[in-house]
Amino acid sequence: MIQIDDAGSGSLVGGTIIGILRVEDLDYHYEAIPINLFTSPSFEEKKYTDYTVKIIIDGINLLNIGKNEQIEICQGYMFDKARIYLSQNGYNVVSTKIGDPLQTIIEYCFLDYVIGLGIPMDYLEYTKYPFHFHKMLKWVFSDLEYREKLCKTGWKSWKKYCNTSLSHYNDYLVSGSYKCLKCGNSIETPCKIKVTNFFTNKEYFIYLHDSCQFSQ
């Protein structure tokens, strides 16, 4: 049996991983849908669904998937065109909720992918999976000039909050354990710090080393 699923479609940062797994021998193929397909106008044109079909075709060829094998595919919108393609080309496809083994494998695959984009593992643990939108905004706003390029900027939620007013000021930390959200290194207290303050669904604070520069 073949399982097909995605991971990361609900994360503001990064593209989306599409994974294809043969359950019996754990043969696995995956690829990331590029971030630029989640920016305007590609996002509104749903070009990510075309790329999903391309990944699945690649996976069929690489894993030598036969038309007699049952294919279980995720029910999500990411696979709207893929389900049509598979059915029209004679594959034995069933739309369903995907569980293990693929679900766990692809979730860890996406974690590795976004860590590669620069998000620290301890911050991902703080945001909880799937990544909390407003907490991910904290990470993006910490270095907006660079990190905006890593975001699904076609999202309505991004367009709603991307121009959020950021208030910058200097402060002092007496004690506690903190990480600088710009460079990712620990903040050794007591020390001077830079603080960015903003409001979205609630009030948030970003702490930076005094030597790190504010995002504009």
Q: Residue 21 maps to which CATH number?
A: 3.30.420
Q: If you average pLDDT over residues 182-188, what whole number do you get? A: 94
Residues 80, 151, single domain; the answer is: no
Residues 110, 143, single domain; the answer is: no
**Per-residue confidence (pLDDT) for residue 192, from 0 to 100:** 97
Condensed to tens digits (0 to 9), the pLDDT of residues 155-176 reads: 999 999 999 999 999 999 999 9
Share of the chain above pLDDT 70, in %: 98
pLDDT band at 122 (very low <50, low <70, confident <90, very high): confident
Q: If you average pLDDT over residues 111-117, what whole number do you get? A: 94
Residues 6, 112, single domain; the answer is: yes
Residues 163, 67, single domain; the answer is: no
**Is the residue at 121 inside a domain?**
no
Residues 191, 89, single domain; the answer is: no
Condensed to tens digits (0 to 9), the pLDDT of residues 35-84 reads: 999 999 999 999 999 999 999 999 999 999 999 999 999 999 999 999 99
**Is the residue at 125 inside a domain?**
no
**Is the residue at 76 inside a domain?**
yes
CA distance 40 to 33: 15
Reply yes or no on whether the pLDDT at 216 is more than 90.
Answer: no
Residues 93, 168, single domain; the answer is: no
Lowest mean pLDDT among 7-21, 103-117, 120-134: 120-134
Residues 185, 161, single domain; the answer is: yes
Residue 201 · residue 164 · CB < 8 Å = no
Q: If you average pLDDT over residues 25-38, what whole number do you get? A: 97
Residues 105, 6, single domain; the answer is: yes
Give exposure, 162-193, as e/b (b: 16+ Cβ within 10 Å): eeeeeeeeeeeeeeeebbbbbeeeebeeeeeb
| Strand 203-209 relative to strand 191-199, pairing | antiparallel
**Is the residue at 105 inside a domain?**
yes
Q: Residue 12 CB: number of other CB atoms within 10 A?
A: 25
Q: If you average pLDDT over residues 127-147, what whole number do you get? A: 86
Residues 80, 173, single domain; the answer is: no
Q: pTM of the full predicted structure?
A: 0.92
Q: If you average pLDDT over residues 3-25, what whole number do you get? A: 96
**Per-residue confidence (pLDDT) for residue 123, from 0 to 100:** 86
**Per-residue confidence (pLDDT) for residue 145, from 0 to 100:** 93
Q: Which domain holds residue 143?
A: 132-209
Residues 15, 108, single domain; the answer is: yes
**Is the residue at 123 inside a domain?**
no
Q: How many domains does the chain have?
A: 2
Question: For residue 195, which of 185, 182, 186 has the smallest C-alpha distance?
Answer: 182
Residues 88, 149, single domain; the answer is: no
Of 89, 116, 143, which one is at a domain's C-terminal end?
116
| Strand 16-22 relative to strand 27-33, pairing | antiparallel
- Starting at the edge strand found earlier in the chain, the sheet holding 27-33 runs 27-33, 16-22, 2-7, 70-74, 92-96
CB under 8 A, 24+ apart: contacts of 133-138? 133/12, 133/157, 134/200, 134/201, 134/202, 134/204, 136/11, 136/12, 136/13, 137/12, 137/161, 137/164, 137/198, 137/200, 137/204, 138/181, 138/204, 138/206
